[in-house]
Amino acid sequence: MCGIAGQYCFDGRSPDRELLARMSEQLIHRGPDGAGTEIRGCMGLVHRRLAIIDLSDDGLQPMTNEDRTLWLVYNGEIYNYVELREELIGKGHRFHSQSDTEVILHAYEEWGAGCLQRFNGMWAFALWDERSQQLFCARDRFGIKPFYYTKTGGSFLFASEIKALIEHPDVGKTPDDEILGTYLAWGVQDHSARTMFDGIFQLKPAHALIVTKDGPHSPYRYWDIMINSAVRSDARDEQETGRFLDLLRDATRIHLRSDVAVGTCLSGGIDSSTLAVLINNLIRDEAPASVSDRQKTFSAVFTDKRFNESRYIDEIVNATGVDSHRTEPAPEQLREDIDRLIWVQDEPFGSLSIYAQYCVMRLARKNVKVVLDGQGADELLAGYLAYLASYIRGLVHSFHIGAALWEIAGSFRIHRRFFYSAFGQLLVRRTRRNLLTVIVPPVDRYAGSLDEVLKRELCSTNLPALLHYEDRNSMAFSIESRVPYLDVRLVEYVASLPLNQKIRNGMTKTALRGAVLGIIPESVRCRVDKMGFVTPEEVWMKEMLRPFVLDVLCADSFRARPYWNADAVIKDYLAFLEGKSVYSPEVWRIVCTELWLRKFFDPRTGSSEGGPGSPLVSG
């Protein structure tokens, strides 16, 4: 896990060493264990190292092959590197390190761009081929690791984070109003190759990009997934859930491969709880050195019982005997952290729930260097309650009327309060979009049948943004975060399952719940509420953060923005404070956008701890 950056000059001139040094400095949190820069003619490569596998100097980057014709900078982990290394040795390749980085080099030598199909892991890398003067860039199938790029001044620039690219004086000077407006109106981000910085792009998940002296070619997709649209199959539940558990167990096993300590994020939900129990079983059966004899878990808890998951965390702790570490995010601390949080994330974020994750990563840093997390399970297994409506609609349209009626009955029996609340929120959000002055195309995350929705959520409208938050939150504290539910073998298997292994009788995550029967406590396995690492955002925005938010909304800069009607926003927020309207995420998104605009675009007359920019809150 590391930070990467580089510059390819198309006219043959040498890259700007000072620019590369500044880019490297902006990525130091991603790799505090070492730095490397290599300039090969018109190509400059930068690497910041977070040493996880092969801690010796043999793992330093930029890394080259035997004849020094290939040079690689890489961020991520190839979890099946042990098996690939053995295969490549059998084909005559010679290795000089124990790192997965060198496996990428030899895999490229052996299979060319086809090496991407062989990798099981998370990655963003740039590989310079000196013979062809070609830069080969690739990002993992789900976008777990970031890759940003731009073209300016006769050169191609890339980096792990946007803040490194804007070290170039001509890059990222204005927002991309359409992408920013889509975020403000619909709450989606990372759904496009465009970013909220005009002219800065991201390599989309499952895409690769070739850059030559003629410039960057069009990115191409190297992997895709199809979600089974069948409602049910002839296979017995025991067969399907048994195979699911076998794959998840092995995914967890290889995600523990590390030469440094590994811990687990434990929210108290079924996804992270399952990982914690599986890891405990692996400790007993295989004794992975990265975990030692007692697993460490990291959780966010709250005094407010409406948002506190301590009861479920305690269930897992009592069942496993893990070494439990907990933190309670507080609005007072958020006031101190918000400047750095905005800077860390690069772009505005959709809710304050990511602050809980930020606090968990800060806690984990004191004990481990790697954490496993349950991200991805909701999109794979239809874990969000909003997916129920898509499933029922698809059943009706495919003439499974009896099944649709059964699901309607089950959904309203279990989740009646959710549906009433969701309907009210739809009306409130529609009204709050009228506060905006931007015109953006509509985004309907839940249009179509369940299989269509899940593919969209996996590849564009939800998971990429969540992975963005997780990467930045973990790397802010030099922590590597791993997500076993996105093991490609598990993903492809779950995609092949019929829809009733995802939702059945109003219950989500059917396959997972069936697979862990008798493995995790029933109170956790049968949970129907959905929380995760959340914060009491509505309470904070109405009470403890009230002075902070009012300060933001009453500033001259806020009134000058072209994205909203400032007077209407203030009036709406005051109505919320007075109990005349209910809360919705649009309120935070507007506040967060104002803070982001101050941080990255307003005249840089001052500086703050997180990075360059004006102070976020005046006076």
Instruction: Indicate the pLDDT class of residue 417, thresholds 50, 70 and 90.
Output: confident
Phi-psi region at 7: left, alpha or beta (left = phi > 0; alpha = psi -120 to 50): beta
Coil, strand or helix: which one is 386? Answer: coil
> Residue 613: is its pLDDT beyond 80?
no
- 522 near 319, Cβ under 8 Å? no
What residue segments make up the domains of the chain, in order of their start?
2-221, 237-384+462-525, 537-612
Is pLDDT larger for residue 506 or for residue 423? 506
Residues 96-114: tens digit of each pLDDT: 999 999 999 999 999 999 9
> Which long-range contacts link 64-69 to residues 24+ away (Cβ below 8 Å)?
64/38, 64/105, 65/105, 65/106, 65/109, 66/94, 68/130, 69/129, 69/130, 69/131
Query: Cα–Cα distances in Å, from 598 out to 178, 338, 551, 555?
Result: 19, 12, 13, 11
Segment holding 494, helix H or strand E = helix 488-496
Quote the tokens at residue 173: 């000077």
Distance between CA atoms of residues 395 and 371, nearest Å? 39
What burial class does residue 591 get, using C-beta atoms within 10 Å of its C-beta: 0-12 exposed, 13-18 middle, 19+ buried? buried
Catalytic pick among 2, 9, 42, 265: 2
Quote the tokens at residue 115: 């090496």
Query: Which residue type, as a one-letter code, is found at position 391?
Result: Y
Instruction: Indicate the pLDDT class of residue 235, thresholds 50, 70 and 90.
Output: confident
Instruction: Indicate the pLDDT class of residue 419, thresholds 50, 70 and 90.
Output: confident
pLDDT of residue 606: 38
Distance between CA atoms of residues 256 and 263, nearest Å? 9
pLDDT of residue 528: 84
Strand ranges inside 179-252, DSSP E:
201-202, 207-212, 215-216, 220-221
Average pLDDT of span 157-166: 98
Nearest to 18 by CA among 44, 51, 50: 44
Q: What is the DSSP letter of 63?
A: E
Distance between CA atoms of residues 353 and 470, nearest Å? 11
- 465 near 190, Cβ under 8 Å? yes
Residues 440-463: tens digit of each pLDDT: 889 999 999 999 999 999 999 999
Is pLDDT larger for residue 421 or for residue 548? 548
Q: Identify the bridge partners of residue 175 per DSSP, sorted by sequence position.
A: 197
Distance between CA atoms of residues 98 and 590, nearest Å? 48
Q: Using alpha carbons only, give the angle 489, 494, 499 rounded to the nearest 5 degrees.
A: 165
pLDDT of residue 544: 95
Quote the tokens at residue 390: 């898509």
Average pLDDT of span 320-325: 97
What burial class does residue 260 get, using C-beta atoms within 10 Å of its C-beta: 0-12 exposed, 13-18 middle, 19+ buried? middle
Q: State the number of CA atoms in the 13 A half-sphere of 410 facing the CB.
A: 18
Distance between CA atoms of residues 204 and 460, nearest Å? 9
Query: Which residue type, as a one-letter code, is found at position 317?
Result: V
2-221 has which CATH code?
3.60.20.10
Strands 220-221 and 207-212: antiparallel
Q: Using alpha carbons only, give the angle 51, 55, 56 rounded to the nearest 5 degrees.
A: 130
pLDDT of residue 610: 56
3-state secondary structure 235-298: CCHHHHHHHHHHHHHHHHHHHCCCCCCEEEECCCCHHHHHHHHHHHHHHHHCCCCCCCCCCEEE
Query: Cα–Cα distances in Å, from 453 out to 143, 222, 382, 461?
Result: 18, 21, 9, 9
- 376 near 483, Cβ under 8 Å? yes
Q: Compute the mean pLDDT over every residue in the chain, rounded to the nearest whole number.
A: 94
Query: Which residue type, as a one-letter code, is found at position 478?
Result: S
Average pLDDT of span 120-133: 97
Phi-psi region at 431: left, alpha or beta (left = phi > 0; alpha = psi -120 to 50): alpha
Distance between CA atoms of residues 244 and 226, nearest Å? 17
Query: Cα–Cα distances in Å, from 303 out to 147, 306, 310, 532, 548?
Result: 38, 9, 10, 16, 22
Q: What are the DSSP calls for 356-372, one per residue?
A: HHHHHHHHHTTT-SEEE
pTM metric for this prediction: 0.95
Dihedrals φ, ψ of 3, to 5°?
Answer: -120, 140
- 561 near 552, Cβ under 8 Å? no
Instruction: Indicate the pLDDT class of residue 605, thresholds 50, 70 and 90.
Output: very low
What burial class does residue 293 get, using C-beta atoms within 10 Å of its C-beta: 0-12 exposed, 13-18 middle, 19+ buried? exposed
pLDDT of residue 303: 87
Dihedrals φ, ψ of 492, to 5°?
Answer: -65, -35
Residues 295-309: tens digit of each pLDDT: 999 999 998 878 888
Instruction: Indicate the pLDDT class of residue 604, thresholds 50, 70 and 90.
Output: low
- 300 near 267, Cβ under 8 Å? yes
Coil, strand or helix: which one is 337? Answer: helix
237-384+462-525 has which CATH code?
3.40.50.620
> Residue 154: is its pLDDT beyond 70?
yes
Buried b (16+ CB within 10 A) or exposed e, 79-116: bbbeebbebbeeeebeeebbbbbbbbbbbbbbeeeebb
At a CB cut-off of 8 Å and minimum separation 6, what does 177 contact? Answer: 198, 438, 562, 563
pLDDT of residue 309: 87
Distance between CA atoms of residues 100 and 30, nearest Å? 18
Q: What percent of the chain has pLDDT over 70?
A: 96
Instruction: Indicate the pLDDT class of residue 534, thresholds 50, 70 and 90.
Output: low
2 among known catalytic residues: yes
pLDDT of residue 615: 53
